[in-house]
């Protein structure tokens, strides 16, 4: 009568489990926008790029949100925010020749190095899409990556334009 030894199987399973768990990272905590359940937001998020200006896409904690970059200072997109009304804040026309999206741009306070966080909210689209760019990102790169978001964001119908 032979006896089967199961120890090697346990030794193989344990390292595989550790490798699987090592790949699980905590999602970036992002509060859902008030209108995140709008069906068009699901279409927007599904159409977003996997990388944004070389920054990898990160998992987030809420519906209709996406983040890219470093977990400590990610670029965060939320679909379903309240559309902005008339404003004196600058409106940026992000037009790559194929897709055009208007964004209201608001700079936050500058840090000691002169970098400032930026918040961009689509203008003339309901639900609106918000992109928050931390100062750590604006210090090292342009926000021209808004052009890369255009194809996904343009899935929300445009009803008004910046003047």
Q: How many domains would you assign to the chain? A: 1
Token pair, residue 91, equals 């409106």
Is residue 20 a part of any domain in this protein?
A: no
Is residue 13 a part of any domain in this protein?
A: no
Question: Which residues lie below 8 Å from residue 131, measured CB to CB, with a gap of 6+?
Answer: 75, 76, 77, 103, 119, 120, 121, 146, 149
Is residue 16 a part of any domain in this protein?
A: no
For the domain that residue 38 is a member of, what is the CATH number?
2.60.120
Q: For position 18, what pLDDT does the model report? A: 41
Is residue 15 a part of any domain in this protein?
A: no
User: Position of tokens 């970098």?
Assistant: 115
- Structural domain including 103 reads 27-153
**Per-residue pLDDT in tens (0 to 9) along the chain, 163 residues:** 555 444 444 444 444 444 444 456 799 999 999 999 999 999 999 999 999 999 999 999 999 999 999 999 999 999 999 999 888 999 999 999 999 999 999 999 988 888 889 999 999 999 999 999 999 998 888 888 999 999 999 999 999 988 7
The model's pTM is 0.83
Is residue 19 a part of any domain in this protein?
A: no
Is residue 8 a part of any domain in this protein?
A: no
Is residue 162 a part of any domain in this protein?
A: no
Q: For position 40, what pLDDT does the model report? A: 98
DSSP string, 65-132: EEEEEETTEEEEEEEEEPPP-S-SS-EEEEE-SS-EEEEEEEE----TTS---EEEEESSBSSEEEEE
Question: Which residues lie below 8 Å from residue 145, measured CB to CB, with a gap of 6+?
Answer: 52, 53, 75
Is residue 34 a part of any domain in this protein?
A: yes
β-bridge mates for residue 65, sequence order? 78
């Amino acid at each position: 009568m032979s006896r089967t030894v199961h120890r090697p199987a346990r030794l193989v399973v344990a390292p595989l489990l550790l490798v699987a768990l090592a790949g699980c990272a905590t999602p970036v905590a992002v509060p859902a926008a008030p209108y995140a359940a709008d069906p068009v937001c699901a279409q927007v998020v599904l159409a977003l790029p996997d990388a944004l200006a070389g920054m990898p896409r990160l998992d987030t904690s809420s519906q209709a949100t996406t983040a890219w970059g470093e977990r400590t200072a990610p670029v965060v997109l939320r679909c379903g925010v309240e559309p902005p009304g008339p404003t004196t804040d600058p409106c940026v026309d992000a037009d790559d020749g194929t897709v055009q999206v208007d964004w209201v741009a608001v700079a936050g306070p500058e840090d000691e190095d002169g970098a400032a966080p930026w918040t961009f909210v689509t203008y003339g689209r309901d639900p609106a899409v918000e992109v928050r760019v931390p100062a750590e990102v604006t210090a090292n790169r342009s926000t021209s990556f808004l052009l890369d978001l255009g194809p996904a964001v343009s899935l929300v119908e445009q009803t008004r334009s910046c003047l």
